[in-house]
Amino acid sequence: MSSYLIAREQGIKVVALPIFPHRRFRHSFIFVGSGNAVKEPRDLVGKKVGIPEYQISALVWIRGFLQHDYDVKPSQISWFSDRDEERLLVKFPKDVHVEKVPARSKECLFLEGKLDAIMDGKVPDIFVDRNPKVRRLFENFREVEAEYFRRTGFFPIMHTVVVRTKVLEENPWVAVSLWKAFVRSKELSYKRMSDPRLSNLIWPQSYQDEERAMLGEDPWRYNVRDNTKTLEAMIRYEFEQGLITKEQKVEELFAPNTYDLIEGRHVPCGL
C-alpha cells in the first residue's frame, strides 16, 4: 500500500482495487536488546535502528504510531537499511538519516551491539530462534494492539491489489470481476478456517471468537467505505514521513467502478 501511494505520485500507471489481502498490527514488530537501555518507546530517541527498507508499509505504520502515540519522530532515530535499494526511488526528508548497510546484515549488527533495535515487516530469525539477546519492545503486544484498535479503529493495511491503468481503460469490467473473485476467495477461506481439523492450534475457535468480538465478523473488509479511516491515516503518515509530497484523497485511489462496492453479509458456509 505504501509503494502504491508513492507510485501514484510518480505517475506509474496502475490503479488499486479495494482489496486488502494483508493487514497486521505492528507493535509486535519492534525488537530490542534484552539488557539494553531501550525499555519504552521514548527510549528509541537517538538510537540506531535496523530496517529492511524505509518505505515499506510496516515501517510507515510503526513510525506513525511512534510519532502520534509516543512522541518519537522519524528524525529522532538513525535508520540502517540492509536491502540493496528502495523498491521505488524516494527522496528522504533532510532531517531523516537513512544509511545503507550490507545486505541482510541488520540482525548480525544488532547482536554485535552496533544497532539498538530492529523494526521489520517480519519476525527476525534471531527472535524465532529464541536468541536470549533479543526481545520485543512491547512484550504485552496483544493488549497494546487491542487497545490501539479500540482507540483508533485502525487495522493497519499492508497490501492492496493493483491493475495496469491501460487494462482498465480497455476493459473496465476487469475491476469488478477481480473484486468479486477476491471476495469469493475470502469467503472460502473463512469456511476453511472454521474447520478446527485444518489448524494445528489447540483452541483455534476460541482465538477466532476473541478476534471477532473485537474486530467484527469480517475484519478483512474489501471495500472503501469501511476502510476510509485507516486509509486516511496511512496517507497522512506517508505525507508526514516525506514519502509523498501531498495528501492524496481516498476516493482517487481506486478504480471508479469499485468505489461503491460493498460485500454482502458474511455467511459462514460461504453460500
- What's the pLDDT tens digit per position in 219-228? 999 999 999 9
With a pLDDT cut of 70, the percent of the chain lying above it is 97
Mean pLDDT, residues 21-33: 97
Residue 16: its pLDDT value, please?
98
Do 173 and 135 reside in the same domain of the chain? no
Residue 121: its pLDDT value, please?
95
Give 88-107 pLDDT, tens digit per residue.
989 899 999 999 999 889 99
Cell numbers 537499511 correspond to what residue?
A: 81
Report whether pLDDT(266) > 70: no
3-state secondary structure of 118: strand
Last residue of a domain, one of 105, 128, 152: 152
Domain count, the chain: 2
Give 28-49 pLDDT, tens digit per residue.
999 999 988 899 999 999 999 9
Do 67 and 168 reside in the same domain of the chain? no
Residue 195: its pLDDT value, please?
84
pLDDT category of residue 191 using cuts at 50, 70 and 90:
confident
Mean pLDDT, residues 190-216: 88
Mean pLDDT, residues 57-81: 98
Mean pLDDT, residues 144-156: 97
Radius of gyration of the chain (CA): 20
Last residue of a domain, one of 124, 152, 180: 152
Report whether pLDDT(4) > 80: yes
Do 147 and 130 reside in the same domain of the chain? yes
Count of CB atoms situated within 10 Å of the CB of 172: 14
CATH number at residue 225: 3.40.190.10
Mean pLDDT, residues 163-191: 96
Report whether pLDDT(267) > 60: no
137, amino acid identity:
L
Residue 205: its pLDDT value, please?
86
What domain range is 147 assigned to?
27-152
Last residue of a domain, one of 101, 130, 152: 152
Do 214 and 252 reside in the same domain of the chain? yes
Calculate the average pLDDT of the chain.
93
For residues 220 and 238, give the distance between their C-alpha atoms in angstroms, rounded to a whole number: 22
Give a yes or no: residue 265 inside a domain: no
Do 54 and 137 reside in the same domain of the chain? yes
Classify residue 260 by burial, with Cβ atoms within 10 Å: 0-12, 13-18, 19+: exposed
Residue 265: its pLDDT value, please?
47
pLDDT category of residue 199 using cuts at 50, 70 and 90:
confident
Report whether pLDDT(268) > 60: no
Q: Are 155 and 23 in contact (CB under 8 A)?
A: yes
Report whether pLDDT(240) > 60: yes
Report whether pLDDT(71) > 70: yes
Do 46 and 77 reside in the same domain of the chain? yes
In 14-40, which positions are buried (b, 16+ CB within 10 angstroms) versus exposed (e)? bbbbbbbeebbbbbbbbbbbeeeebee
Alpha helix ranges (H) inside the chain: 2-9, 57-70, 106-111, 125-128, 141-152, 165-170, 173-193, 204-215, 228-240
Give a yes or no: residue 33 inside a domain: yes
Residue 270: its pLDDT value, please?
42
Do 7 and 37 reside in the same domain of the chain? no
Give a yes or no: residue 133 inside a domain: yes
Report whether pLDDT(17) > 70: yes
Instruction: List the grid coordinates of 56.
Output: 515499506
Give a yes or no: residue 171 inside a domain: yes
Residue 38: its pLDDT value, please?
94
Give a yes or no: residue 207 inside a domain: yes
pLDDT category of residue 164 using cuts at 50, 70 and 90:
very high
Residue 157: its pLDDT value, please?
98
Report whether pLDDT(27) > 90: yes
Do 241 and 217 reside in the same domain of the chain? yes
Q: Are 223 and 257 in contact (CB under 8 A)?
A: no
pLDDT category of residue 197 using cuts at 50, 70 and 90:
confident
